[in-house]
């Protein structure tokens, strides 16, 4: 997936002079996760800019640059560091267009490596995308595979709104078919990752892969699970989700963000109100347990939702 | 005072306009609820338009002969405010349980005036659809007042607190009056409408009448007891999807045991209930019994109506179906023809038909007819002569003129002769009432009148109902003899073949005579062959010796 | 204050222990005894040891992601450190904090932090608390050169300055913030050049001279304890390895790397100093052995410790 993202950045930078990258260690070093490798050599320091460790400063700078003609793509080394620059994101980027009565637009992308499962502990493992989804003016993209990553990145760069682009660290190394040419995948359109009849699992990022494994396993028992990947949680494709639930009558919503007040609650609640008569069981949410992510790897697995949690939820909704 | 519109009613599914035949009231006339305002004709029947309101006929908007699209206003009545179309509470005086067959008329032959026409009012009841049902809400009428209804047709949709169900009409006739309006509630087994139809309908659902609190046979037993049943007296725990499916399929969730937590009823519970046994309406259950359709061959998974039973019976009979394809085209029977089709099948399958054939010499008939025409200028048909002969023979053998109902033979003191007539609308059987008192000429004129009405599509319900014996002729088509089907609730039918010259033995030699076949089908349940043969012999005697008509 | 012979040797041992731990990290990770991210401070031992030697046991330190050395120098608990790195129940944080979040407030370690400059405001807050409550404990805040560019850092230092809080900011200038050289990240030549901007005293010293570090700190602490104002102490040093165990440090020029590792190794320099002070070869070798042994012993201890129970994952979220 990291190559897919790199290709997207490369193709957009080639196409549009105003696209430039900023972040820590993205130039010579090629980025902490090697996503921007090679771009510095190709485009130079003006367009691939190393910054000091000053997230509030350079993310805020992105907002100003975006308003005045550039299309910056900034990298935060970990989504956890977004806390340091919440004001530029939430009070500036998100609100600038609205506050200016539509005069400003903020065509920037903020790349945020998120997710746990590698013993990164409290400050390097978080999934905070719910916070950004909860802010009008921001878009939030959560690709689960290389094809979507490239398509959504290109769409995000071309989009005139600030996009929080979430990249799950454990997915960087995954591979898949990706067209060579540039292509867009629309923001706000879900993808059916697997068709099924008996239950719908709505999942993002890593949870898509866990859900697919569970679906494979349950298929042996004759249970047919449909996996829906929203791909962007803002804008959110509730139509696809509701259509799926009306077909299957059962819904499980799975994400790595905390279950309590996670964005899955929004999806579950909307399913309830729009497909109430079609539900055979309450909508079940699967999310991280409500504690910081611990260092110890076994404790971490306790907190972060696993395959077994999804399986349990699906079975519960089927009364099996 | 308020103004009320009278509209051209939509009397059938396909009706698009009606023609005003005759106004029976003029502007300025007082009208009472139930008064006949006008007669209207459609593509199928003539209908009486009765006033639903009291008041004065203020305005007539469409003239006699005018063709009016359905639901357009044809007249305005000015009357006291607050009247509704549905005279709820004004149940017919026959508050008794569904009626027995028509009462016997006076023994003396009627002489015009009020004659027992052989029609009857039947009550349509709010069905008791489950053990616990106490009342239902009428959700929608599928027929309007004045519309024809065939037995087995869905006439209304009713909701209880749990399920929605359709009510099939047990009777054929006209939905004369609606007693419970859409949106109103009615306790179980109270009347919701009145159907006027041919007398003597042996209604299948009569057995399910008020006396029995028989639940609709749509309920499944509890699912395998893996969970505890609902807490008695508590709120039903059921998933929304299960509730919706149960409502659509006519399953009463209260009879189910749920496998979900705390006994929650879930989709699987309802699906299994639906699949476990066929779900039949009252009428369908009785039809199945009547037609001998075993439950095993009935489709599962949905509520079954009369038409499904008949289809299953038909499919079971032949085991073969015609597949539709690019080389076939279809035409549905339509309500009336479908009702007739059902009647034919019911008749054939209910009454064991035996057909007796007898050849007679028609020279006497021919001579009579010719004489009447030449000497008296009276046009009398062969059918008229046969009608007269039949009428006389029926007086001698009343069992041929009877109806069998539940091991009881119902003898009629009148002879109402049906004459099978091929009309542009198809087969109609107009009836000449009280033929027993009529001379040949009177009978001939009456028959002509009825046949004419049928041909010109001017028949009313009373013209085509109430018969006790039917005569049917295929002679005009060159048919020698055939096996006519009895017209229920009659017990016999006389088929007439073509008259043709034949060589017949005459002493030691032969002569040419005009000969004709009579084919009498009779219901062998209560009529034995000897009696039928004697009846036929009497008919033959009268036809071969028409001077009997003078006696 | 003059240090005793035992204390001098002890400092040597401590530097060796720190180096051993951070050199062995790769081995621990390879053997899956340790997981996740880790940031080694090999080459920067003199700063940790020199500073902490001057502290009282009840003084506080706050450190950053490169905090093994600071933590060990302050708390002197090698077993606890290794147990934490190995994710055991008996670690500093019962296995829940790991390398980047080592903390032991009881022994004065406010903790390491995974967010650059995340701990600096916390340190200032601790100093505020001490001054407010009139308690004579000061706070040492370790930070790196790159942290000086975080907004939170400026705000915290300014706050400390304006309130004359008892805090010493020890900035280990190892010339790099991950892969970005300091010269690309700031316009001033020395970190200490920024001190006047806050109205506080700034000093730049040789961070690889452990005794020099000790003496400078000891000298400044008196005024700091007296709340005469915080001090920004820039210690010039170098990290031998990459930014973290996943980084090879390929951005560092070879000559630079060579000079610092071969000609400016703080341990080698101190050894020479000790020799000059008359310590015998036996004493020095013995200390080296003792340091190595203590590591092996601590590792064995840590490996024998149990992992935390799964239910601990949800404990201590709230008080």
Asked if C97 is an interface residue toward chain A (Cβ–Cβ < 8 A), one would say yes
For range A28-41, the mean pLDDT: 96
What are the percentages of helix, strand and coil residues in chain C, rounded to 5? 50, 10, 35
Determine the residue among A121, A293, A305 to mutate to test chain C binding: the one whose Cβ has the most chain C Cβ atoms within 10 Å. Answer: A121
Mean pLDDT (whole number) for A279-301: 96
Q: DSSP string of B438-494? A: --HHHHHHHHHHHHHHHHTT---GGGGS--SEEEEE-GGGT-----PPP-TT-SEEE
Of residues C46 and B71, which shows the higher confidence score? C46
Query: Which listed residue (B29, B262, B452, B528) is catalytic?
Result: B528
Q: Is A177 part of any domain? A: no
d(CA A110, CA B183): 59
- Looking at the fold, whether A36 and A91 belong to one and the same domain comes out as yes
Q: Two tokens at A306? A: 């696993």
- C-alpha B311/C-alpha B269 separation (Å) is 29
CA A96 – CA A102 distance, rounded (Å): 8
More confident residue, B461 or B171: B171
CB atoms within 10 A of CB B261: 13
Closest CB to A278 among B241, B266, B268 = B241
Contact A247, A197 (CB under 8 A): yes
**A86 CA to chain B: closest CA distance, Å?**
42
Cα C50 from Cα C235, distance rounded (Å): 11
Q: Which pLDDT does position A92 carry in this prediction?
A: 94
A59–chain C nearest CA distance, Å? 12
> Is the CB of C150 inside 8 Å of chain A's CB atoms?
yes
Of B241, B259, B260, the CB nearest to A249: B241
Q: Is A311 a catalytic residue?
A: no
pLDDT at B118: 58
User: In this predicted complex, what is the ipTM?
Assistant: 0.84
Q: Do B457 and B519 sit in the same domain of this protein?
A: yes
pLDDT, one tens digit per residue, over B100-154 is: 333 333 333 333 333 344 577 888 888 876 666 788 899 889 888 888 888 888 8
Residue C43: name the closest of C178, C208, C251 by CA.
C208
User: Chain A residues contacting C, CB < 8 Å?
Assistant: 24-25, 28-29, 32, 50-57, 80-81, 83-84, 118-124, 289-292, 294-300, 302-303
Per-residue pLDDT tens over the stretch B220-273: 333 333 344 444 556 788 999 999 988 887 788 888 889 988 889 999 999 888
pLDDT, position B306: 78
Catalytic choice (A55, A167, A185, A266): A55
User: How high is the pLDDT of residue A98?
Assistant: 93
> Residue B301's pLDDT is what?
61
Q: pLDDT tens-digit profile of A158-202?
A: 999 999 999 999 999 999 999 999 999 999 999 999 999 999 999
Rg (CA), chain C: 19
Q: Evaluate if residue B350 carries a pLDDT over 60.
A: yes
pLDDT class of B319 with cuts at 50, 70, 90? low
Mean pLDDT, residues B35-48: 80
Q: State the residue range of the domain holding B436.
A: 352-550
Shortest distance, CA B261 to any CA of chain A (angstroms): 8
For residues B5 and C221, what is the distance between their CA atoms, to the nearest angstrom? 105
- Chain B residues within an 8 Å CB radius of A274: none
Supply the range of the domain harboring residue A303. Answer: 191-317
**pLDDT above 50: residue A250:** yes
| Contact predicate B372/B521, CB 8 Å | no
Q: Which chains touch A (3 or more CB pairs under 8 A)?
A: B, C
Query: Are B31 and B140 in the same domain?
Result: no
Q: Give the C-alpha separation, C69 to C240, whole Å.
A: 14
pLDDT digits (tens, 9 = 90+) for C69-90: 999 999 999 999 999 999 999 8
DSSP string, B21-51: EEESS-TT-EE-TT-EEEEEE-SS-EEEEE-
pLDDT level of residue B323 (50, 70, 90 thresholds): low
> A129: distance to nearest CA of chain B, Å?
32
Q: Does C119 touch chain A (CB under 8 A)?
A: no
| Mean of all residue pLDDT scores within chain B | 81
How many CB atoms within 10 Å of residue C131? 18
Q: Are residues A218 and A143 in the same domain?
A: no
Residues on chain B touching A276 (C-beta within 8 angstroms): 240
Kindly state the tokens that stand for B122: 């039947």
Residues A141 and A14 in one domain: yes
Q: Find, among B435, B541, B428, the residue nearest to B487 by Cα.
A: B428
Does residue A269 share a domain with residue A224?
yes
pLDDT band at A287 (very low <50, low <70, confident <90, very high): very high
From C215's Cα to the closest Cα of chain A, the distance in A is 31
Do residues A102 and A269 make contact, with C-beta atoms less than 8 angstroms apart?
no
Task: Residue A279: list chain B partners with CB under 8 A.
Answer: 239-241
Q: Are residues A20 and A104 in the same domain?
A: yes
Question: Which residues on chain B are in Cβ contact (under 8 Å) with A278?
Answer: 240-241, 244
Measured between CA atoms, the residue of chain A closest to residue C250 is A29
* Residues of C with Cβ-Cβ distance to A292 under 8 angstroms: 317
**Interface residues on A facing B, Cβ-Cβ cutoff 8 A:** 249, 276-281, 319
CA distance B146 to A153: 68
Q: Which of B17, B24, B142, B524 is catalytic?
A: B524
Sign of dihedral through CA atoms A127, A130, A133, A138? Answer: negative
Q: What share of chain A is helix, strand, coil (3-state, %, to 5)?
A: 40, 20, 40
Is residue B88 very low, low, confident or very high in pLDDT (cuts 50, 70, 90)?
Answer: very low
For an interface test with A, give the residue of B242, B245, B247, B266 to mutate (most A CBs within 10 A): B266
Choose among B58, B86, B87, B56: nearest CA to B74.
B58
Given pLDDT bands bounded at 50, 70 and 90, which one contains residue C313?
A: very high
How many angstroms away from the CA of B194 is the closest CA of chain A? 37
- CATH number of the domain bearing residue B464: 3.30.559.10
Place of tokens 């999310």: A287
Say how far apart CA A257 and CA A298 lie, in whole Å. Answer: 18
Alpha-carbon gap, residue A222 to B125, rounded angstroms: 47
- Do A102 and A50 lie in one domain? The reply is yes
Which CATH number characterizes residue A244's domain? 3.40.50.920
3-class secondary structure, B140: strand
Question: Number of Cβ pairs closer than 8 Å across A and B?
Answer: 27
* Cβ–Cβ < 8 Å for B39, B13: no
Q: Are residues A198 and A128 in the same domain?
A: no
The answer to whether residue B449 is domain-embedded is yes
Query: What does the pLDDT read at residue B12?
Result: 65
How far apart (Å, rounded) are the C-alpha atoms in residues B213 and B226? 31
Instruction: Sort B124 into a burial class: Cβ within 10 Å, 0-12 / 13-18 / 19+.
Output: buried
Same domain, A12 and A139: yes
Mean pLDDT across chain C:
94
| Mean pLDDT within A46-69 | 94
Chains B and C touch (3+ CB pairs under 8 A): no
Poorest-confidence range of A63-77, B46-60, B317-331, C18-32? Answer: B317-331
**Chains touching C by CB (3 or more pairs below 8 Å):** A
Q: Flag whether B257 is in a domain.
A: no
Chain C residues with CB under 8 Å of A290 CB are 314, 317
Is residue B208's pLDDT more than 70?
Answer: no
Interface check for B21 against chain A (CB to CB < 8 A): the answer is no
> Looking at the domain assignment, is residue B179 inside a domain?
yes
Residue A180 lies inside a defined structural domain of this protein? no
Q: Considering the domain boundaries, does residue A125 fall inside one?
A: yes
Query: Percent of chain C scored above 70 by pLDDT?
Result: 100
Would you state the structure tokens that stand for residue B54, as one six-digit string?
A: 């009291």
Handedness of CA C115, C116, C118, C119 (dihedral sign): positive
Closest CA to A112 of A190, A187, A35, A39: A35
Residues 6+ apart with CB under 8 A from B146: B9, B11, B47, B48, B49, B50, B174, B175, B176
**Is B84 contained in some domain?**
no
Whether the predicted pLDDT of C295 surpasses 80: yes
Q: Is residue A182 part of a domain?
A: no
C-beta of residue B20 within 8 angstroms of C-beta of residue B52: no
How many angstroms separate the CA atoms of C228 and C216, rounded? 16
State how far the Cα of A71 lies from the Cα of A93, in Å rounded to an integer.
13
Domain extents in chain C: 5-295
Inter-chain residue contact B239 with A319, CB threshold 8 Å: no
Q: Which two tokens stand for residue A173?
A: 């190394």
Q: State what percent of residues in chain B have pLDDT above 90.
A: 34
Asked if A304 and A288 count as a contact pair (C-beta separation under 8 A), the reply is: yes
In a domain, A183, yes or no: no
Whether A207 and A242 map to the same domain: the answer is yes
What CATH number matches the domain at C5-295, 3.40.50.2300, 3.40.50.150, 3.40.50.970, 3.40.50.2000? 3.40.50.970
The reply to whether residue B260 touches residue A281, judged by beta carbons under 8 angstroms, is yes
Determine contact: B243 vs chain A, CB below 8 A: yes
Bond prior to C44 in cis (omega within 30° of 0): no
Determine phi and psi for B297, rounding to 5 degrees. Answer: -90, 0
Q: Are B145 and B296 in contact (CB under 8 A)?
A: no
Q: Same domain, yes or no, for A270 and A197? A: yes
Statement: residue C182 has pLDDT above 80: yes
pLDDT number for residue B335? 65
Query: Into how many domains does chain A fold?
Result: 2
| CA B408 to centroid of chain Cα atoms | 21
Q: Is B268 within 8 Å of A319 when comparing Cβ atoms?
A: yes
Check residues B249 and A98 and name the one with the higher pLDDT: A98
Instruction: Note the pLDDT of residue C162.
Output: 94
Query: What does the pLDDT average to over B281-307?
Result: 76
Q: How confident is the model at residue A146 (pLDDT cuts 50, 70, 90)?
A: very high
Q: Which CATH number is A112's domain given? A: 3.40.50.970
Does C229 score more than 90 pLDDT?
Answer: yes
CA distance C318 to chain A (A): 9
Residue of A nearest to C153 (CA): A54
Cβ-contact B455, B420 below 8 angstroms: no
Interchain proximity A277–B266, CB inside 8 Å: no
Chain A CB contacts of C84 below 8 Å: 295
SS3 category, C49: helix
A106 and A222, same domain (yes or no) = no
| Mean pLDDT, residues C35-51 | 95
Lowest mean pLDDT among B82-86, B184-188, B348-352: B82-86
CATH number of the domain at B47, please: 2.40.50.100
Residue B279 lies inside a defined structural domain of this protein: no
Domain count within chain B: 3
Between B156-165, B462-471, B503-512, the lowest mean confidence (pLDDT) is in B156-165
Q: Is residue A178 part of a domain?
A: no
Residues of B in contact with A249 (CB under 8 A): 241, 267
Three-class secondary structure of residue A263 per DSSP: helix
pLDDT band at B85 (very low <50, low <70, confident <90, very high): low
C160 contacts chain A (CB < 8 A): no
**According to the model, what pLDDT value does residue B205 have?**
40
A55 counts as catalytic: yes
Whether residues A10 and A99 fall in one domain? yes
Taken in order A151, A157, A159, A163, the sign of the CA dihedral is positive
Q: What is the DSSP letter of C232?
A: E
Given B208, B234, B258, the domain boundary residue is B208
B369 and B472 inside one domain: yes
Cis peptide bond N-terminal to B489, omega within 30: yes
This model's pTM is above 0.90: no
Q: How far is C208 from chain A (nearest CA, A)?
A: 25
The beta strand positions in B80-129, using DSSP E, are 119-125
B286-299: average pLDDT: 77
Burial class from Cβ neighbours inside 10 Å (0-12, 13-18, 19+) for residue A173 reads: exposed
Write down the residue that tokens 């019911």 correspond to.
B346
Check CB contact under 8 Å for C96 and A299: yes
pLDDT score, position B546: 86
């Amino acid at each position: 997936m990291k190559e897919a993202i790199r290709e997207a950045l490369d193709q957009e930078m080639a196409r549009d002079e105003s696209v430039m990258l900023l972040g820590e260690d993205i130039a010579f070093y090629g980025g902490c996760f090697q996503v921007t490798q090679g771009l510095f050599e190709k485009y130079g320091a003006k367009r691939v800019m190393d910054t000091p460790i000053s997230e509030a400063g350079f993310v805020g700078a992105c907002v100003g640059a975006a308003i005045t003609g550039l299309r910056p793509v900034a990298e935060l080394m970990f989504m956890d560091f977004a806390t340091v620059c919440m004001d530029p994101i939430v009070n500036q980027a998100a609100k600038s267009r609205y506050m200016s009565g539509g005069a400003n637009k903020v065509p920037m992308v903020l790349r945020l490596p998120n997710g746990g499962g590698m013993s990164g502990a409290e400050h390097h493992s978080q999934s905070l995308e719910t916070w950004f989804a909860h802010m009008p003016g921001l878009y939030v993209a959560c690709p689960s595979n290389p094809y979507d990553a490239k398509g959504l990145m290109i769409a995000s760069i071309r989009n005139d709104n600030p996009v929080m682009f979430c990249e799950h660290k454990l997915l960087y190394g995954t591979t898949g078919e990706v067209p060579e040419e540039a292509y867009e995948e629309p923001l706000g359109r879900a993808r059916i990752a697997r068709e099924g009849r008996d239950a719908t699992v709505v999942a993002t990022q890593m949870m898509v892969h866990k859900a697919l494994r569970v679906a494979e396993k349950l298929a042996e028992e004759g249970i047919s699970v449909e996996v829906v990947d929203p791909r962007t949680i803002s804008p959110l494709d509730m139509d696809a989700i509701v259509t799926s639930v009306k077909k299957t009558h059962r819904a499980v919503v799975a994400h790595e963000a905390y279950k309590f007040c996670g964005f899955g609650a929004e999806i579950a609640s909307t399913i309830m109100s729009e497909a109430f008569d079609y539900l055979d069981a309450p909508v079940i949410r699967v999310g991280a347990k409500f504690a910081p992510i611990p260092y110890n790897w076994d404790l971490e697995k306790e907190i972060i939702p696993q395959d077994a949690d999804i399986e349990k939820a699906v079975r519960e909704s089927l009364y099996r | 005072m308020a103004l009320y519109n009278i509209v051209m009613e939509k009397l059938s599914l396909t009706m698009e306009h009606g023609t005003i035949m005759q106004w029976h009231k003029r502007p300025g006339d007082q009208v009472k609820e139930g008064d006949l305002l006008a007669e209207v004709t459609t593509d199928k029947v003539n209908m009486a338009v009765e006033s639903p309101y009291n008041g004065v006929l203020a305005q007539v908007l469409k003239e006699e002969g005018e063709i009016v699209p359905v639901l357009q206003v044809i007249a305005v009545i000015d009357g006291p405010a607050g009247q509704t179309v549905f005279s709820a509470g004004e149940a017919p005086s026959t508050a008794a349980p569904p009626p027995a067959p028509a009462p016997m008329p006076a023994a003396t032959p009627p002489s015009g005036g009020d004659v027992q026409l052989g029609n009857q009012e039947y009550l349509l009841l709010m069905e008791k659809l489950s053990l616990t049902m106490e009342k239902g809400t009428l959700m929608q009428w599928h027929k309007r007042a004045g519309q024809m209804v065939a037995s087995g047709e869905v006439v209304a949709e009713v909701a209880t607190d749990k399920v929605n169900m359709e009510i099939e009409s047990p009777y054929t006739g006209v939905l004369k009056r609606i007693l419970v309006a859409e949106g109103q509630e009615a306790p179980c087994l109270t009347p919701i409408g009145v159907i006027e139809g041919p007398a003597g309908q042996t209604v299948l659902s009569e057995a399910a009448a008020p006396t029995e609190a028989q639940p609709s046979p749509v309920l499944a037993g509890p699912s395998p007891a893996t969970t505890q049943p609902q807490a008695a007296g508590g709120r039903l725990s059921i998933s929304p999807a299960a509730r919706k499916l149960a409502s659509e399929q006519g399953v009463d969730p209260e009879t189910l045991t749920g496998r979900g937590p705390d006994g929650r009823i879930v989709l699987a519970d309802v699906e299994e209930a639906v699949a476990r046994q066929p779900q039949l309406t009252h009428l369908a259950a009785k039809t199945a019994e009547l037609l001998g359709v075993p439950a095993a061959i009935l489709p599962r998974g949905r509520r079954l109506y009369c038409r499904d039973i008949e289809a299953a019976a038909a499919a079971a009979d032949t085991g073969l179906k015609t597949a539709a394809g690019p080389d076939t085209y279809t035409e549905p029977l339509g309500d009336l023809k479908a009702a007739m089709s059902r009647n034919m099948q019911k008749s054939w399958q209910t009454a064991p038909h035996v057909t007796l054939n007898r050849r007679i010499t028609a020279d006497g008939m021919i001579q009579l007819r010719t004489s009447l025409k030449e000497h008296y200028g009276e046009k009398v048909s062969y059918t008229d002569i046969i009608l007269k002969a039949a009428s006389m023979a029926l007086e001698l053998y009343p069992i041929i003129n009877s109806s069998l109902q539940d091991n009881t033979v119902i003898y009629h003191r009148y002879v109402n002769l049906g004459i099978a007539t091929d009309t542009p609308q198809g087969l109609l059987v107009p009836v000449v009432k009280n033929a027993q008192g009529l001379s040949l000429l009177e009978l001939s004129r009456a028959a002509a009148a009825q046949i004419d009405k049928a041909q010109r599509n001017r028949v009313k319900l009373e013209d085509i109902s109430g018969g006790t014996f039917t005569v049917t002729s295929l002679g005009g088509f060159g048919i020698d003899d055939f096996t006519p089907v009895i017209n229920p609730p009659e017990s016999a039918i006389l088929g007439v073949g073509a008259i043709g010259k034949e060589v017949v033995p005459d002493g030691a030699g032969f002569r040419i005579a005009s000969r004709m076949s009579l084919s009498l089908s009779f219901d062998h349940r209560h009529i034995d062959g000897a009696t039928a043969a004697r009846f036929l012999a009497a008919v033959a005697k009268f036809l071969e010796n028409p001077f009997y008509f003078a006696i | 204050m003059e240090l005793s012979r035992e204390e001098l040797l002890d400092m040597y041992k401590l530097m060796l222990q720190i180096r051993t731990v951070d050199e062995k990290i790769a081995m621990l990770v390879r053997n899956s005894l340790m997981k996740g991210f880790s940031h080694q401070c090999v080459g920067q031992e003199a700063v940790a040891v020199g500073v902490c030697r001057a502290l009282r046991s009840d003084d506080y330190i706050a450190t950053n992601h490169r905090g093994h050395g600071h933590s060990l120098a302050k708390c002197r608990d090698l077993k606890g450190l290794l147990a934490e790195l190995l994710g055991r129940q008996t670690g500093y944080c019962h296995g829940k904090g790991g390398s980047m979040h080592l903390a032991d407030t009881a022994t004065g370690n406010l903790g390491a932090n995974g967010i650059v400059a995340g701990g600096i405001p916390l340190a200032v807050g601790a100093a505020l608390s001490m001054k407010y409550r009139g308690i004579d404990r000061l706070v040492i805040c370790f930070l790196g050169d790159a942290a000086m560019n975080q907004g939170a850092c400026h705000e915290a230092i300014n706050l400390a300055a304006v309130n004359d809080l008892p805090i010493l900011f020890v900035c280990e200038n190892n010339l790099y913030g991950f892969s970005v050289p300091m010269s690309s990240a700031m316009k001033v030549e020395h970190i200490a050049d920024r001190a006047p901007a806050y109205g506080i005293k700034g000093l730049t010293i040789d961070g690889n001279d452990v005794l020099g570090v000790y003496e400078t700190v000891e000298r400044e602490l008196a005024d700091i304890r007296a709340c005469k104002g915080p001090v920004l102490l820039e210690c010039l040093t170098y990290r031998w390895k990459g930014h973290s165990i996943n980084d090879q440090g390929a951005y560092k020029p070879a000559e630079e790397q060579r000079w610092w590792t071969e000609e400016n190794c703080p341990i080698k320099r101190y050894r020479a100093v000790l020799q000059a002070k008359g310590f015998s070869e036996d004493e020095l070798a013995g200390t080296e052995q003792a340091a190595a042994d203590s590591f092996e012993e601590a590792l064995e201890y840590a490996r024998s410790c149990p992992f935390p129970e799964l239910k601990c994952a949800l404990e201590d979220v709230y008080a």
